[in-house]
Amino acid sequence: MSTDALRYQSGFGNEYASEAVAGALPQGRNSPQRAPFDLYPELISGTAFTAPRHENRRSWMYRRQPSVVSGRYQACAQPHWQTGADRDIALAPEPLRWHPIPLENAEVDFVDGIRTLAANGDAEAHSGVAAHVYLASRSMERRAFVNADGEMLLVPQQGRLTITTEMGVLDVKPGEIALLPRGVAFKIALPDSEAGAGPSRGYVCENYGAQFRLPELGPIGSNGLANARDFQAPVAAFESEAGGYEIVKKFAGRLWRAPMKQSPFNVVAWHGNLAPVKYDTANFMTIGSISFDHPDPSIFTVLTSPSDTPGTANCDFVIFPPRWLVMENTFRPPWYHRNLMSEFMGLVYGEYDAKPGGFKPGGASLHNAMVPHGPDEEAFEKASHADLKPQKLDNTLAFMFESRFRFIPTAWALQSPALDTDYADCWAGLKDQFKP
Ligand SMILES: [Fe+2]
């Protein structure tokens, strides 16, 4: 692909338009009798045709060969990628935490490196999400992946990603996220791992439900949190190298593979509002209290996937980025709580203020519906006696996949040596200190 591939179009859900060759994009009609340069028009609809206009997502691609041209599909084994809740797991109502997921056995690519930590819902019912980690050190060379079961939100933790998609190329580094629509083919190269920097690791939210979108802002007004213009979609780019590809498709909870004689990344021009995007969390305008107390953590929502119940998300993607803490006479870390919503958390870098020692980058925690949790003993002690000067919480990025559905950990996650079997001990020392 040309170096021009690394330019971007800004906005979220815009009517993007891009051509890698001047004149390749038809004007005035979507499927002319013969498209420019005899390219094939192909439509991808990410929503039902009749979805409301503000939710409707579709794009037209003009390509050298339509994606229907492929060999037959065969089953493809990837035993660690699980879809939906595993109802056979008896799950105790306890908090769970994992140390950094070990990087051994990472001599694989992104697809083979997926490990499902927990999942909920049902891809067939278009509800729920899976929380995965990926551990990989090999680029996908002539291998492409298509997920028919859900969109994929990637949160790299270690190592950059070069994501080649049908619509163009995204370069994504830790601190940034990528949102890859359901059904759009992509492959992932790992420039840092290939340069000898060791395995790459990150988190993935596979969303079977309604597409992630920007949350409503209510009284915040028209600016704030993640601003639409900071999302970046790629510009059209296509591969010209001859040679075949292996297409791996996730379909109905299973992986399938088929040979393809040409690169699936053969789109010369495209337009529409269904596109992969990336976003740098450094551009998140964080809002918090400037008097006392905390707003609810929903104030940190970057993207939300709504469910059928207003205000009760299929999944919210929430970040805890660097920010100032200035609240007076306030216990500044998160308070003790239990919620209807279930919380899967990860840490990209730095320290999380409620668990300064125990929660490490590359690890994870899970607090399901009505499972109590909160600051550990050390954090409670420190915050209860801290001198409340304005304080910058810096060099940290934690995040949460928050869902109305309980996350069921996989057998792999429960048997992993990374499972912190002593997690609950971090609260054991909290004494009754009632002094009437
Ligand atoms: Fe929580």
In order, the DSSP letters of 310-321 are TT--SEEEEEE-
pLDDT confidence band for 1 (50 / 70 / 90):
low
What pLDDT score does 37 carry?
Answer: 98
- Ligand 1 (ion): which residues have CB within 5 A? 343
DSSP code string of 245-311: EEEEEEETTEEEEEEESS-S--EEEEEES---EEEEGGG-B----SSSS---GGGGEEEEE--SSTT
**pLDDT tens per residue, range 272-331:** 999 999 999 999 999 999 999 999 999 999 999 999 999 999 999 999 999 999 999 999
How many whole angstroms separate alpha carbon 172 and alpha carbon 234?
Answer: 12
Strand ranges, E, within 285-336 = 301-305, 315-320, 323-325
**pLDDT tens per residue, range 10-66:** 999 999 999 999 999 999 999 999 999 999 999 999 999 999 999 999 999 999 999
Q: Which two tokens stand for residue 343?
A: 């919380």
Do residues 125 and 84 touch, judged by C-beta distance below 8 A? no
Look up the pTM and report it: 0.97
What pLDDT score does 351 carry?
Answer: 87
Q: Does 356 have pLDDT greater than 90?
A: no
**pLDDT tens per residue, range 88-127:** 999 999 999 999 999 988 899 999 999 999 999 999 999 9
The mean per-residue pLDDT over the stretch 368-379 comes to: 94
Cα–ligand 1 centroid distance for 400 (angstroms): 9
What pLDDT score does 421 carry?
Answer: 93
Q: Does 3 have pLDDT greater than 70?
A: no
Query: C-alpha distances in angstroms, 172 versus 159, 351, 393?
Result: 9, 22, 24
Q: What angle do CA 150, 244, 159 make, to 5 degrees?
A: 55
Cα–ligand 1 centroid distance for 96 (angstroms): 12
How many whole angstroms separate alpha carbon 310 and alpha carbon 392?
Answer: 35
pLDDT confidence band for 352 (50 / 70 / 90):
confident
**pLDDT tens per residue, range 245-260:** 999 999 999 999 999 9
Q: Which two tokens stand for residue 310?
A: 């207003």
What pLDDT score does 355 carry?
Answer: 75
Do residues 394 and 68 touch, judged by C-beta distance below 8 A? no
Cα–ligand 1 centroid distance for 339 (angstroms): 7
Cα–ligand 1 centroid distance for 152 (angstroms): 23
What pLDDT score does 6 carry?
Answer: 72
Cα–ligand 1 centroid distance for 168 (angstroms): 37
The mean per-residue pLDDT over the stretch 76-91 comes to: 95
Q: Does 4 have pLDDT greater than 60?
A: no
**pLDDT tens per residue, range 121-155:** 999 999 999 999 999 999 999 999 999 999 999 99
Q: Does 2 have pLDDT greater than 80?
A: no
Catalytic-residue membership of 294: yes
What pLDDT score does 104 carry?
Answer: 87
Domains, the chain: 8-281 (2.60.120.10), 284-423 (2.60.120.10)
Provide the 3-class DSSP secondary structure of residue 413: helix
Cα–ligand 1 centroid distance for 380 (angstroms): 15
Which residue in the list 99, 294, 373, 385 is annotated as catalytic? 294
Q: Does 383 have pLDDT greater than 90?
A: yes
pLDDT confidence band for 358 (50 / 70 / 90):
confident
Cα–ligand 1 centroid distance for 378 (angstroms): 17
Cα–ligand 1 centroid distance for 154 (angstroms): 22
Cβ neighbours around 234 below 10 Å, total: 26
Cα–ligand 1 centroid distance for 371 (angstroms): 9
